[in-house]
Amino acid sequence: DGGITQSPKYLFRKEGQNVTLSCEQNLNHDAMYWYRQDPGQGLRLIYYSQIVNDFQKGDIAEGYSVSREKKESFPLTVTSAQKNPTAFYLCASSITGTGSYEQYFGPGTRLTVT
Amino acid sequence: KQEVTQIPAALSVPEGENLVLNCSFTDSAIYNLQWFRQDPGKGLTSLLLIQSSQREQTSGRLNASLDKSSGRSTLYIAASQPGDSATYLCAARKSNAGNNRKLIWGLGTSLAVNP
């Protein structure tokens, strides 16, 4: 089955530790995205990548880092510099070029930092 | 700056009702608009995408319409079922170029369909 996988589903970390969230897709999509979702707020874009070895900051990139070494993978690292890292993190992908850019989402990772 | 609003924030209806969810956007210059469904603690499922040149899209019991001039999109759900209970999100895309490909999100409408 084609789709997007995120692991783990739940992640717990102590304050001050870096943590990496996994996102893998087998849809052959060029573009991948990371969002953060908090209660009472709309989805906020952290980083996006339109092609391998290239990525751009979204609206709330501070305290996060990404890499895009393979088309299928777009891991997100939440660093100790992120002041409020506890949230639900969603990864998405889409086709680029001409077209709709319809985004497809993974199941999400809930990160809790204490 | 594009802003997307969804009203009401929450809706509770009895099973079998036809219902309409509303999505308003402030800038009529959009490329397309996408409707999603999110179940509690889950990721988003894309329901329908309407290009700016289209007036509506249909999938099963769902019909989404787009009126750019009034800055509105509606998601119509026919013969609602308890399994339709979820949060419905709409998101507008300004263009197909560069940073304007980003989606601008509403806060969602939380729907409860009661048996």
B4 pLDDT band, cuts 50/70/90, is very high
Segment B3-30 mean pLDDT: 94
Residue A98 to residue B96, Cβ atoms within 8 A = yes
How much of chain B exceeds pLDDT 90, in percent?
87
Q: A48-74 pLDDT, tens per residue?
A: 999 999 999 999 999 999 999 999 999
Please check the confidence at residue B96 and state whether its pLDDT lies above 90. Answer: no
Task: Check pLDDT > 70 for residue A89.
Answer: yes
**Cα separation of B98 and A105, whole Å?**
20
A93-109 burial, b at 16+ Cβ within 10 Å, e below that, comes to bbbeeeeebbbbbbbbb
pLDDT of residue B99: 67
Structure tokens at B60: 């099963």
d(CA B79, CA B87): 17
Judge whether residue A101 has pLDDT over 90. no
- Strands (DSSP E) along chain B, which ranges? 4-7, 10-14, 19-25, 32-38, 44-51, 56-59, 62-67, 72-77, 86-93, 103-105, 109-114
Q: Could you read off the pLDDT of A9-63 as tens digits, one per residue?
A: 999 999 999 999 999 999 999 999 999 999 888 899 999 999 999 999 999 999 9
Residues of B in contact with A42 (CB under 8 A): 4, 105-108
Under the banding of pLDDT at 50, 70 and 90, the label for residue B115 is: very high
Cβ–Cβ below 8 Å for B105 and A110: no
**Residue of B5, B44, B45, B104 for testing the chain A interface, max A β-carbons within 10 Å:** B44
Structure token digits, residue A108: 């999400």
A43, A99, A108: residue with CB nearest B105: A43
Q: State pLDDT tens for residues B61-81.
A: 999 999 999 999 999 999 999
Which of B43, B46, B102 is the closest to A108 by Cβ? B43
Q: How many residues does chain B have?
A: 115
The CA radius of gyration of chain A, in Å to the nearest whole number, is 13
